[in-house]
Amino acid sequence: MDDEPIVRWYWIGDHLGYLGHLLADHALIALLPVLIGLLLAVPLGLACTRYPRLYQPLAAVFNVVYALPSLAVFVVLIPYTGLATQATVMIPLTFYALAVLLPTTVDGLRAVPEAVRQAATAMGYGPWHRLAAVELPAAVPYLLAGLRVAAVSSISLASVGALVGRGGLGYLFIDGFQRTFPTPIVAGIVLIAALALVVDLLLVGTRRLLAPWAVREKGAAR
């Protein structure tokens, strides 16, 4: 270990294709759950604003879900979903994403001022039209703020999946550790951070496109 440099550049040069393959796998494992989480969070959030009694218990459940250690959950799922399958890693990540996205969705839907809601009704909007034209757009900045947190955590968490055999770039950590060879580990950390950064920037850009007013109202959509 003493004469081993932290990064051997030629290894990275030799393994570009391999690294790209792991990166693609990582992006799929980490981001598909966030997308599914979003698709689940919007109807659940709507249900929570229609029936406010639903929200307290659901929020409590997801608070606990978020506290569950990822490695522990992966392991508990193995007998049902199999070792080294994508499902073992993606199912828990979906729930983590949902735990982040549900409160932000509800906050966003509740952020519409009552006067605006009534104005929409007075203009003849039915409930569905009002939802699509007023309430959902108002929730967009909140949703995107939640998506940023969920996506970045998911990208970082997915690497733990390597311990149960399916963790995209996380495999580089196991590989480097077992061979006392730091280069793959450094490459893995850098690629994960870069992936997180790119996704985060894309989401910030999406917010600018979909909700340009939120950028001007400083701090409204942190």
Partner 1 sequence: MNWLSWLGDFFSAPDHRSGPDSIVHRVTEHLLLSGEALLYAALLAVPLGLLIGYTGRGATAVTSLAGAARALPTLGLVTLAVLLAGVGDTAVLIPLVALAAPPLLVAAVEGVRSTDPDVRDAARGVGLTHPQVLWQVCLPSALPTLLAGFRTATVQVIATATVAAYVGLGGLGRYVIDGLATRKYAVTVGGALLVVLLAVGAQLFFSLLARYALPPGLRAQRQAR
Question: Interacting stretch for partner 1, rule CB under 8 A, among 102-110, 120-128, 131-139, 193-201?
Answer: 193-201
Q: Which is nearer to partner 1, 63 or 118 (CB)?
A: 63
CB-CB contact of 59 with 45 (8 Å): no
Residue bearing tokens 């570009």: 16
Q: Which is nearer to partner 1, 67 or 115 (CB)?
A: 67
Q: Which tokens hold the place of 102?
A: 């549900």
Q: Which of 35, 46, 149, 220 binds partner 1 (CB under 8 A)?
A: 149
Residue 5 in contact with partner 1, rule: CB under 8 A: no
Residue 76 in contact with partner 1, rule: CB under 8 A: yes
Residue 196 in contact with partner 1, rule: CB under 8 A: yes
CB-CB contact of 204 with 152 (8 Å): no
Decide: residue 187, CB within 10 A, 0-12 exposed, 13-18 middle, 19+ buried.
Answer: buried
Q: Which is nearer to partner 1, 66 or 213 (CB)?
A: 66
Q: Which tokens hold the place of 22?
A: 């792991």
Residue 170 in contact with partner 1, rule: CB under 8 A: yes
Residue 132 in contact with partner 1, rule: CB under 8 A: no
CA 118-122-123 angle, 5° bins: 120
Plot region of 10 (φ>0 → left; ψ -120 to 50 → alpha; else → beta): alpha
Residue 220 in contact with partner 1, rule: CB under 8 A: no
Minimum distance from CB of 90 to partner 1 (Å)? 17
Residue 156 in contact with partner 1, rule: CB under 8 A: yes
Q: Contacts with partner 1 in 9-38 (CB under 8 A)?
A: none
Distance CA 105, CA 46 (A): 8
Cα Rg of the chain, angstroms: 21
Q: Which tokens hold the place of 135?
A: 């309430």
Residue 1 in contact with partner 1, rule: CB under 8 A: yes
**How distant is the alpha carbon of residue 188 from its chain centre?**
19
Q: Which is nearer to partner 1, 112 or 160 (CB)?
A: 160
* Element at 31 (helix H, strand E): helix 16-50
Binding residues with partner 1: total (CB under 8 A): 47
Minimum distance from CB of 167 to partner 1 (Å)? 8
CB-CB contact of 97 with 139 (8 Å): no
Q: Contact residues for partner 1 (CB under 8 A)?
A: 1, 6, 63-64, 66-73, 75-76, 78-79, 148-149, 152-153, 155-156, 159-160, 162-164, 169-170, 172-174, 176-177, 180-182, 185-186, 188-189, 192-193, 196-197, 200, 222
